[in-house]
Chains A and B, each alone.
Chain A
Amino acid sequence: MPESKVLLDAVAVQRVLARMAHEIAERNDNSSQVVLVGIQRGGIYLAQRLADLLQGVWGHPVPVGHIDVCMHRDDLDQHLAPPVHPTAIPCDVTGKTVVLVDDVLFRGRTTRAALDALNDLGRPRAVQLAVLIDRGHRELPIKADFVGRNVPTSLRERINVQLQEEGGEDGVFLEHL
């Protein structure tokens, strides 16, 4: 087992998500035009949670979808083929404000792939990025709009996000490899 440090416990995860939901609400007056899109896999659960929280704020359901970025990755011939899942977004994204949701923002390459994948589905009016953890080390000019927690890390560390949807308790851990 790698050495592990708790960054967020279950209560903190919930508190951070609640704050992020309010930030998303504050930034978007046009609540009926907002679509949340989770990035496989952790982002899917977080997008659903943020949508539930936003429904409490706005008083109406918020559409939630999920997107698989594997077909748009830039490193496909460097690794064994990754598992791919169907992309499903319940409405046309053209003209909408899409909030991409991911668990960890790291090099920025997943976000880049997600932007390309999204582009194939339509032309959103705006795209925003919400991440639970920003661990730095960007390799592309990408920045999150909503951040749960900024965590400076070394490349010898790993962020492990566990969510109750996968069994067990919510928690975010910093692990030394």
Chain B
Amino acid sequence: MIWNRKHLLDIQSLSAEEIFTVLDTARAFKAVGERVIKKVPALRGKTVVNLFIEPSTRTRISFELAAQRLSADVINFTAEASSLKKGETLKDTARNLEALNADIIIIRHSATGAPHFLSRFLNASVVNAGDGAHEHPTQALLDLFTIREKKGAIAGLNVTILGDILYSRVARSNIWALLKLDAKVTLCGPTTLVPREFEQMGCRITHDVMEAIRHADIINLLRIQHERQRKTMFPSIGEYASLFGLNQARLAFTRPDVVIMHPGPINRGVEIDSDVADGERSVILEQVTNGLAVRMAVLFLINGGKGPQEIAG
């Protein structure tokens, strides 16, 4: 096992071995969540700050619970109720949090590279919980964890990511991670949301949904991110649903063992129909459970010190 990082800033800079280290570690933390006492003392006395400059509920709650289950103290800092509204810079905000002896700062920000920026001057560890349309590393790690749990291995699988790729940090992190672990990645969606440039990353691109899903082992659906689209990228939600939405009729043409994933929040009737989202091939809620385990693993790993990995009883 390999892990010698103080921060988790992106997937792009991780090696396949490091990704596997997170996934292996997360298995142990998932087991903790299934016990009566779901808490371990690994981060006892540490302070974790959720610095969420962009609204988020599920990721923040997941990180908050992960930190609490590791016995850390958690502070939640949200943009709406903060001094950022009063004109304070991100740098000053982060420095103030560090002056409170924060050990780990988890940041969600609408600007690409905000976590990298913080990591350059903070002594605390920094975890990227989503930066603009760039990366969302823990989402990719929990998706990989779920895929490995369902399929046993990741290498050689056909993974189709369907939906809004252009504006999706989930897509970017997933693409990096899947390609590093030798999966075959197909991207599908409207031409405006799935530009050809993604072929340079090593993905296959198609705008024909049937072709994209027919041989897929995994279909990862992405939400249409209205909040990031400055102009309309397709004529209507109804048209998107009829051309790209995953419904029972389309599902009938997929492999019988296909696994349906979605990072949430889902838009029922748009990218996914209710009977598919609630159907037996969907693992959407398992992803939420696994997200907690993966985030515990990430916090545990970056909390490690500098000394050699010596274990003597």
What is the interface of chain A, defined by CB distance below 8 A to chain B?
A: 39, 68, 70-73, 76-88, 102, 104-111, 116-117, 120-122
Contacts and interface: CB of A to CB of B under 8 A. Distances in A.
A71 B313 contact: no
Interface residues of B, number: 34
B32 interface: yes
Contact of A85 (B28, B35, B39): B28
A70 B306 CA distance: 16
Contacts of A111: 313
A55 to B, nearest CB: 26
Nearest to B24: A83
A106 B3 contact: no
A98 to B, nearest CB: 16
Given A76-B305, A79-B304, A85-B28, A120 B37 contact: yes
B31 A76 contact: no
Contact of A72 (B42, B309, B312): B42
Nearest to A117: B40
A81 B301 contact: yes
Interface in B74-123: none
Interface of B: 1, 3-4, 21, 24-25, 27-32, 35-37, 39-42, 70, 300-313
Contacts of A116: 41
B309 A82 contact: yes
B303 A105 contact: no
User: Chain B's interface: helix, strand, loop or mixed, by majority?
Assistant: loop
A168 B188 CA distance: 51
A107 B313 contact: yes
A71 B309 contact: no
A76 B25 contact: no
A2 to B, nearest CB: 15
A86 B26 CA distance: 9
Contact of B27 (A86, A105, A108): A86
A71 B40 contact: yes
A81 B300 contact: yes
A86 B301 CA distance: 16
B41 A72 contact: yes
A80 B308 contact: yes
B35 A71 contact: no
Contact of B311 (A77, A82, A121): A82
Given A68-B28, A80-B305, A80-B307, 12 more contacts: A70-B42, A72-B41, A72-B42, A73-B42, A81-B304, A84-B25, A85-B27, A86-B31, A87-B28, A109-B313, A120-B35, A120-B37
